[in-house]
Each structure stands twice: as structure tokens, then as C-alpha cells.
Amino acid sequence: MSSITAALYGALIVYLGGWFLGHWTGNFSLLLFLLTLVTLVYWVAERLRFKPAREAAAATLEQQDAARRAELARMGIAKVDGDLSEARARLLMQPWWLDWTAGLFPVILVVFLLRSFLFEPFKIPSGSMIPTLLVGDLILVNKFHYGVRLPVINKKIVDNNAVKRGDVMVFRYPVDPRLDYIKRVVALPGDEVSYQNQKLSINGQPVAGESKGDYYDEESLRYTPRFTEKLGDVEHSILVDPKRQAYYGPDPKTFPMNENCRYTAEGMTCKVPAGHYFVMGDNRDNSQDSRFWGFVPDENIVGRAFFVWMNFGNLGRIGPFH
């Protein structure tokens, strides 16, 4: 068993190393699920086989020692040297391959359950959600807000709150579901969303907002016009730079149900299909979002982001956000 365990740990190190070096994209949910299963097998084997075997060996040693002492006593030898405590402790001790598998199962199980059904941490890797979220923010995502989903396959089994306009949502990137993206929900199923000349409209109604001066981005060392925007009940800040307006081009985009969208040089208009959502970054001119790669299907939803729990470069960032 020690050689099998060493091989498993070797495979884990290779997988994590290749992931860290960028040779492939890892799937942490699947990895955590497999670790839970493997350590569970070791934990059950420890409880049903290995631990009873060690205890039986220790009991046999004690019986043999008791028999030896009884035989010596019959021979008139009352004082017998020898202390079994060390030998017994060695027999009962878990070998390393059980200590590093069965011994880790309770911890891995708790992490798996918390991450799969309650809260999952994420790190903001890009500036697409500035000024709401900054690069380096460590955030928490509520996994049960929109319903309970099975881990790995992301199948919803229990409904909860409906997705609302203005929610900051984490989801599996439709182009490559191995990646997680974070954007703000702009339009719901059945909505007609239009983004023309950097102005957002939902169902023909311009989204309310007002100028709030310039925002200084410490990453790019530049000022960008800042506005407030209200989607549903959520008022939040966005950045819109007239000098960096995106060019959409006259050709239709190629993504599922792209026939629901019309593109011009000024922008786009889309009818959101059933079971899908239209999302955008708050940094409107520096965000790859539904304008470019299409709609987010409901089955891709991971959860609702709601709290910055750490930013090592700016502790003042800690707290809830909208």
C-alpha cells in the first residue's frame, strides 16, 4: 500500500505542477472530489481492516507477554524485565501512508462540503470589474444563493433565489467551462438588451445613471470617467471611456444563439433566450463579456459574489460590495 500511495502522491504533484506551470488547465472541483473519494477509501479501510489488525497484533503481544510472565512466576521468578509500552505504541502507530490519507479525510471532507455547497473563495485576476472589484481582491461566492447544485457536474437539485439584474455572478465561461468568470448580470431571460454608443438600455428603457467624476486606476496609472448605474435595486459604479469605445463590426458574432443579436459599428442589441443571462463587466471598455462571446446558460452558474475577505495590498478593501 505504501508504493500505491506514493504513486498517487506523485501523480498529484505532477498534476499540480503542470497546472501551476500552465501546461494544462486544472479543475479544482474535480480534484477535491477525487481527493475526498480516495481518502474516504483509505479511511474506511483504516477503520475496518488496518486499525483492527494493529490492535489485534498489540493484544497478541500483551497475551504473549502475560503468558511468559505467568510461566516465569511458576518457575519462581517474580521479577521480570521488559516494558511493552514502546513496542505496543509502535504496533498501534499509523504508517505514513495512512496518516497522509485516512488522517486527512475529515479535513478534506469539510473543505469539500463547504466549497461545494456553501461558500467558495476566488481571486480577481483582471480589471474587468473595476471599480467594484480590483485585481488581487479575494472574494467569497455564495454557492447556495441561486440553489443547491451537485459538485463537479454543476447540476441544480434545489432551487433558491432567482438571478436578478445587478447581481455580481461567478459562472463557468461558456467558451471554455474549465474557467470561472465573474461579471454583473445586466439582462434576464426574455429581456432585450441594447448597448449603443456606450449607453445601456433594457427593454427600450435607458438604464439610469449619472457622472461621478474621474476614477484613478492605480494599475494603469490613468483616469477614466466614472458613472453610477442602477440595475434593478442595485446601484453600482462603472467606468466608461469615450476614447476607448469598442468596435463591434458589421459581421454577426459566432456563438450559440447569435441569431438573437444584431451588431453595428455603434453597438449591439440582443434578445436574451430562455434559461440564459446577459452579463457585462463594470469596466465597460476593458471587459470581454456577453457582448463578445454570448449568453451565460443557467447550468453554468457557480454562485453570487458578495464579499471581499482579503486584499493583501489594501486591507481597506475588506467588506461587502454591490
In order of 7, 54, 59, the CA distances from 99 in angstroms are 16, 14, 22
Tell me what the mean pLDDT of segment 175-182 comes to: 92
Q: What is the Cα–Cα distance from 270 to 84, expressed in whole angstroms?
A: 79
Q: Is 230 a catalytic residue?
A: no
Exactly one of 183, 194, 287, 290 is catalytic; name it: 183
- Asked whether the predicted pLDDT for residue 306 surpasses 70, the reply is yes
* Report field, pTM of the whole predicted structure over 0.75: yes
What digits encode the pLDDT tens for the residues 32-85? 999 999 999 999 999 999 999 998 988 888 888 778 777 777 787 767 666 777
Q: Which residues of 37-46 are buried (b: 16+ CB within 10 A; e: fewer)?
A: ebbeebbeeb
Span 127-165, pLDDT tens digits = 999 999 999 899 999 999 999 998 888 888 999 999 999
- Annotated catalytic residue, options 29, 116, 128, 194: 128
Catalogue all structural domains in the chain, each as residue range(s) with its CATH number: 2-112 (no CATH), 121-320 (2.10.109.10)
> Residue 128 catalytic?
yes
- Closest to 172 (Cα-Cα) out of 194, 149, 191: 149
